[in-house]
Chains A and B, each alone.
Chain A
Amino acid sequence: MAAIELAGVTKRFGDVTAVDDLDLTVPEGEVFGFLGPNGAGKSTTINMILDFVRPTTGTVRVLGHDAQRESVTVRRRTGVLPEGFDVYDRLTGRKHVEFAIDSKGTDDDPLAVLERVGIADAADRKAGGYSKGMRQRLALGMALVGEPDLLILDEPSSGLDPAGAKEMRDIVRAEAGRGATVFFSSHVLGQVEAVCDRVGILRAGELVAEDSIAGLREAAGGESTLLISVDDATEADLDPVRALPGVSGAATDGDTVTVACDPDAKTEVIASLEERGVTVRDFRTEEASLEDLFLAYTSDGPREVSA
């Protein structure tokens, strides 16, 4: 059975389409990295999985249940670290975890939970005085209560220092080792690479890639990155480039165009840009890395929507 199953899911806010006809299946027991730049629709997707927002069209099923009609059942078996959340300023860290234990009806030891996420020494301080990283750890602790079958972590490393981010990855590995499915989002590939079985890359509400890390690496290995210095290139100039055979992605910051492509496609890429009236000053090829591929997939700014 699939842990998460989205079929033809579209979400519009007014006339802004945040998520566009998304199909995504995450099998049970998998660690799935949900990647994309800020505003790509990652949080909106997660919010639909949790029934915070409702899809305009399409269906979302989680752990075999309808995400909307049976949301409480879903959340009983799911641990969530939401994005853009806040704590209860006047309550202590311990009270927060006790509330999670109370709500899920389990018998976890609050202090052991706080110990696990590294803030046991702050257990009896009011959470209003916690730093961003400590709040993040507290919410992760609340998510871990009751050994959930599914963990949904929305940008879990935000606010954490590198050591904290490593602890977060260790916890993800431990939870996966216990058999939990982990679904987490990030806009930084590095955090995902080390722990994920598979990743999906979302850009402007659409899934542009879905593969294992090895698969992505293989795709990246066969390609190179072409860096072209130009006078001025716009998004519109890139559209014909993206349409070329052998090109998997293209991005521009105005005076540099980055294209992930088959080495043979190089000449056509440059010809295509010149045809659009772009002056090519210089170009060089770089050995492709996974990071480049990710950037090529995602660093396409103008279509961002806020999620």
Chain B
Amino acid sequence: MSWEAIARKDFEDAVRSRWLLALTALFVLLISAVAYIVRPAPGQTFSSNAILGLVNGTLVTTLVPLIALIIAYGAIVGERESGSLKLLLSLPHSRADVVFGKVLGRSAAITLPVVVGFIVPALLLAIGPLQFDAGSYVGYTLLTAFLGAVFVAIAVGFSAAMSSQRLAIAGAIALYLLFVPLWGAAQFPLQLYLVLGGGPEWLPIAGEQLFRVLRLVNPTGSFKIVSGAFLNGGLFSGENASFHAAAAAVLLGWLSLPPLLGLWSFERADL
């Protein structure tokens, strides 16, 4: 399969990038630091899930999207600017193969910092007096890699659609700022206004519902819903089951729509 060949080559290329190495080191360092700081005091026990819950809302949902955007924004437009895309498309690949191969290859590449980032602190935690839940630890690692893939897909979408690296990084960073710091700052006031205050009267839906929708649309928001439920052992069950399913569907949408839109534009471009 053509996109497999591209994904394989792209992975081999991306893992040799100094950026990926540096970001992996940063990620490992930060997760390990958190694990060390919150480690249980002697005589206490502590569940690994509690630590994951802590990094989930903070490190993972801010850092993983950023790493994904950095390693993937140039995936296609970078090759277009350097000219290696000509070498790539001299071979029998369709432009769709290029887009999907890149999503796969760079998603595999981001799995690397994620997995290493969780293995090192796991070793640290394993020697402590910890109640280590291996199943949810591995599961959470995989979920985080999936979050990485979602943001890789967003970045590759921009990379396919834009004609210069500057535009691609600008689009990706703007989206990141919107979803992470801006949303982080606005979330609490919005929650007060919409959920407790009920929101403006002209709204066709209740303020609380609007707030839920806003949380869902943001991929880091829907990731927190899914991962939080997973760590609590209640994913896709209980009264919020349909909310979890909606969050998962939104994530799948972010995984597939940006590359498709990017491809739509890339198909029409003169290279």
Task: Enumerate chain A interface residues (CB-CB to B < 8 A).
Answer: 13, 47, 50, 52-54, 71-73, 75-76, 79-88, 90-91, 95-96, 99-100, 102-104, 139, 142-143
Q: Which residues of B contact A (CB under 8 A)?
A: 2, 5-6, 8-9, 12-13, 16-17, 82-84, 86-87, 89-94, 270-271
A104 to B87, CA, bound (A): 13
Q: Residues of B contacting A100 with CB < 8 Å?
A: 91
Contact B83 A52 (CB under 8 A): no
**Chain B residues near A84 (CB-CB < 8 A):** 83, 86
Query: Is A50 a contact partner of B90 (Cβ separation < 8 A)?
Result: yes
Measured in the bound complex, the distance between the Cα atoms of B92 and A79 in whole Å is 10
Chain B residues, Cβ within 8 Å of A76:
92
Q: Could you tell me if B17 and A90 are in contact, using CB atoms closer than 8 angstroms?
A: yes
- Across the interface, B9 reaches (CB within 8 A) one of A52, A75, A95, A139, namely A95
User: With A86-B83, A99-B5 in contact, do A72 and B270 touch (Cβ < 8 Å)?
Assistant: no
Given contacts A82-B87, A85-B83, 20 further A-B contacts (CB under 8 A): A47-B271, A52-B271, A53-B271, A54-B270, A71-B94, A75-B91, A75-B92, A84-B83, A85-B84, A86-B86, A86-B87, A88-B9, A91-B16, A99-B91, A102-B8, A103-B93, A104-B91, A139-B87, A142-B87, A142-B90
Q: Are B13 and A85 in contact (CB under 8 A)?
A: no
Q: Which residues of B contact A104 (CB under 8 A)?
A: 91-92
Residues of B within 8 A of A79 (CB): 90
Contact B92–A90 (Cβ < 8 Å): no
Name which residue of chain B comes closest to A143, CB basis. B90
Q: Is A52 in contact with B86, judged by CB distance below 8 angstroms?
A: yes
Q: A52-B86, A82-B86, A86-B83 are in contact. Are A91 and B13 (CB under 8 A)?
A: yes
With A84-B83, A84-B86 in contact, is A53–B270 under 8 Å at CB? yes
| Cross-chain pairs A/B with CB under 8 angstroms, 30 sampled | A47-B271, A50-B90, A52-B86, A52-B89, A52-B270, A53-B270, A53-B271, A54-B270, A71-B94, A73-B92, A75-B89, A82-B90, A84-B86, A85-B83, A86-B83, A86-B84, A88-B9, A88-B84, A88-B87, A90-B17, A91-B9, A95-B9, A95-B12, A99-B91, A103-B5, A103-B93, A139-B87, A142-B87, A142-B90, A142-B91
Chain A positions within 8 Å of B9 at CB level: 88, 91, 95, 99, 102
Contacts of B271 in A (CB 8 A): 47, 52-53
Which residue of chain A has its CB nearest to the CB of B8?
Answer: A102
| Interchain CB contact (< 8 A) of B2 among A87, A103, A142 | A103
Of B13, B17, B82, B91, chain A has the most CB atoms within 10 Å of the CB of B91
Whole-angstrom distance between the alpha carbons of A204 and B44 in the complex? 81
Q: Which one of B6, B16, B82, B93 contacts A72 once the chains associate, using CB atoms below 8 Å?
A: B93
Chain B neighbourhood of A90, CB < 8 A: 13, 16-17
Q: Is the CB of A102 within 8 A of B5?
A: yes
Q: B145 to chain A: closest CB distance in Å?
A: 23
- Cβ-closest chain A residue relative to B90: A80
Look across to chain B and name the residue whose beta carbon is closest to the beta carbon of A135: B87
Nearest CB to that of B9 among chain A residues? A99
| A50, B89: Cβ atoms closer than 8 Å | yes
A186 to chain B, nearest CB (A): 18
**Smallest CB-CB separation from B87: which chain A residue?**
A85
Q: Which residues of B contact A85 (CB under 8 A)?
A: 83-84, 86-87, 90
Q: Is the CB of A103 within 8 A of B270?
A: no
Q: Cβ of B83: which chain A residues have Cβ within 8 Å of it? A: 82, 84-86
B261 CB → nearest A CB, Å: 20
Of the candidates B82, B83, B89, B90, the one having the most CB atoms from chain A within 10 angstroms of its own CB is B90
Contact of B90 among A73, A75, A86, A88 (CB under 8 A): A75
Give complex CA distance A24, B89 in Å: 23
CB distance from B127 to the nearest CB of A (A): 37
In the complex with contacts A85-B84, A90-B16, A95-B12, A103-B91 CB distance below 8 A = yes
What's the least CB distance linking A99 to chain B, in Å? 5
* Closest-CB distance, B98 to chain A (whole angstroms): 11
